[in-house]
Amino acid sequence: MSAVLDQTIVLDVNRVHLPIDARTVRDAITAMTGENPALAFDIEYALGPDGRPNYDEPLERRTVTWAEWVSLPVRPFDVVIETARGWLRAPTVIMAPAYADMPHARPRLSPQGVYERDGWRCQYTGKRLRPEEANIDHVIPKDRGGGDTWENLVTCTRSINSWKGNRLNSECGLKLIRRPRAPLGLPRCSLIRTPKHPDWLLFLTCPQPSRKDAAA
């Protein structure tokens, strides 16, 4: 039971059905049974000859309360929770009915985040890189006082990173094509890209942020 409860397979959406976060099943149940309770989506799909759902053909989706949720029949393809009273469907998408805002967040600092900020282009040559060609360069090397920050990390080719070593750019004739900066804040929906359950596919859309939104 605890293994299912701690799985992060629940998408949290706002009142207009835009994704805002991912939750564990345990957190989703708490949200559905607490103050200002969230609602869960009951989604029906067309079934194939083998009895498996066709996730490309949703027949119906409706929001239900916790009291309604616990009375839903458990289907063969559902993620389930074992309780003292029997089997219970695990929610996969919940909605906060009173919340229409879209929180913003900055991407987490990571190699993948730096690659995406830089468009997978070497910041010394402008060449677009394949994953196996890319590396992260400390503009000011760590042993020269440089830190792991957005402003000090750039995408570059493995060969340039190896050749540069612990030298400063001024010492080896390298010049950045642009100054590295921390990414602007983005709507959280744009940071949720990988569905943890097929039900998420109905909600993983996000409007492109305007410059004003991105700066928020």
pLDDT tens readout for residues 31-56 = 999 989 999 999 999 988 888 899 98
For residues 78 and 89, the answer to whether their CB atoms sit within 8 Å is yes
Specify the pLDDT at position 31: 95
Q: In whole angstroms, what is the distance from residue 167 CA to residue 174 CA?
A: 10
- Mean pLDDT across the stretch 98-111? 80
Q: Are 29 and 38 in contact (CB under 8 A)?
A: no
Q: Which residues contact 198 (CB under 8 A, 6 or more apart)?
A: 53, 55
Encoded amino acid at 53, one letter = P
Give the pLDDT band (50/70/90) at residue 83.
confident
- State the Rg of the chain over Cα: 23
Residues sharing a CB contact under 8 Å with residue 16, sequence separation 6 or more, in sequence order? 100
DSSP-H helix ranges across 41-140: 66-69, 111-117
Say what the pTM is. 0.62
Across 137-149, average pLDDT: 95
Q: Are 69 and 81 in contact (CB under 8 A)?
A: no
Nearest-10 Cα torsion for 200, 202, 203, 208: 130
104-105/134-138 β-pairing: unpaired
Whole-angstrom distance, CA of residue 45 vs CA of residue 56: 8
CB neighbour list of residue 26: distance below 8 Å, 6 or more residues apart: 5, 6
- Which residues of the chain does CATH 1.10.30.50 include? 111-172
The reported pLDDT for the residue numbered 43 is 96
In which band, very low, low, confident or very high, does the pLDDT at 91 lie, cut at 50, 70 and 90? very high
For domain 111-172, the question of CATH label 1.10.30.50 is answered with yes
